Structure 1
Amino acid sequence: MSTSLRVFDRVLTALVALLILAGAAWVIGYGADVAVARDAAARIDPTSLGRATEWQLWQPALGAGGAVLLVVGAWLILVHLRPRSVRAVSTAHVGAVDLARLADAAAADLGNHPAVSSAKAATRTVSGRPVARITAQFPVTTDLNRIRQLAHRCADDLRRAADTELEFQLLAERTSK
């Protein structure tokens, strides 16, 4: 999930939560005979709410509001359902390459190194670019320069095998073994 989508989700959730909390506080205050809630309820004119449908722009406003809410809802659903993983990428020389298999092979190769406890791969699309992410576990005794060397070697091998421009990420986790 992208950062902007995460922020949008949280802001939208916060706004809906505030509306629900304000409505609940008003209803509870009205039931508890709080003066502010009773005064707010007394200011509501039920006849003016009934006359809203007589307004000449009522139907276009209602339709436009519904269309906007429908588009925003459909956009939210599609953005959340869109797969972020990528299987194949196209290259200039050999056509399509299965990036997931290449990343799995790179993770297996890295996992066979004596300085690595285990490694697993995942592929993603970030800002329209393919990303191969390998999560590897290293013992705490492994030197950081050795981890960097392994990361550069793995990235070079993966880019050469994929024959295309891609992002590479090595997530190094320290283990006590």
Structure 2
Amino acid sequence: MPEPQIRKSAILTETIFHEGGPAPKTPLRRASCMTVIANPFAGRYVEDIQGFMEDLKPLGAQMAQDLIDALGGDPASIQGYGKGAIVGTNGELEHGALWHVPGGYAMREKIADSMAIVPSTKKLGAPGTRLDVPITHTNAAYVRSHFDAMEVGLSDAPKADEILLVLVMTTGSRIHARVGGLAAEDIKGEDGLR
């Protein structure tokens, strides 16, 4: 397969100081990295598309590093992550699924305590489509305080023959998280769940 053709990329960072209650000692930081690529399968059905996952791996690694850098450069500070894709209207949903391995494993390789599966979402859409990317704790999917989402999108992407690939990372739980469940400090780190 050919190397991914990148049209543009963007990084969005947020610093959340409070959600109406008392300000926490440390604000929550979260960021998304979005890259718009040409969809090599747009406009036609192709049976064997798996090879493109291998081609996307360097891009996934670069996007993961860019996110870590945007959040201060320390992989140990990353506590939450997620991924997603918006496929342009000349593609199919399965083209977005090609991002599962290169996007998810790229983040897990760069974050030491990352046993949890990387949550994901994908959809078809036109330029300006928004996507809520789910977020969970990096080491234990059942940590309820880290269940979150980040809305992402670009005004001019994806065009019909493009895919918008997304990675998201956070530095902590939701601000004011207080609905119980497994606490981050109680993670056993045995199976990616608890």
State TM-score, norm by structure 1: 0.30
More strand as a share of residues: 2
More helix as a share of residues: 1
Q: Of the two structures, which has the highest relative contact order with CA contacts closer than 8 Å and spacing of 6 or more?
A: 2
State TM-score, norm by structure 2: 0.28
Q: Which one has the largest radius of gyration?
A: 1
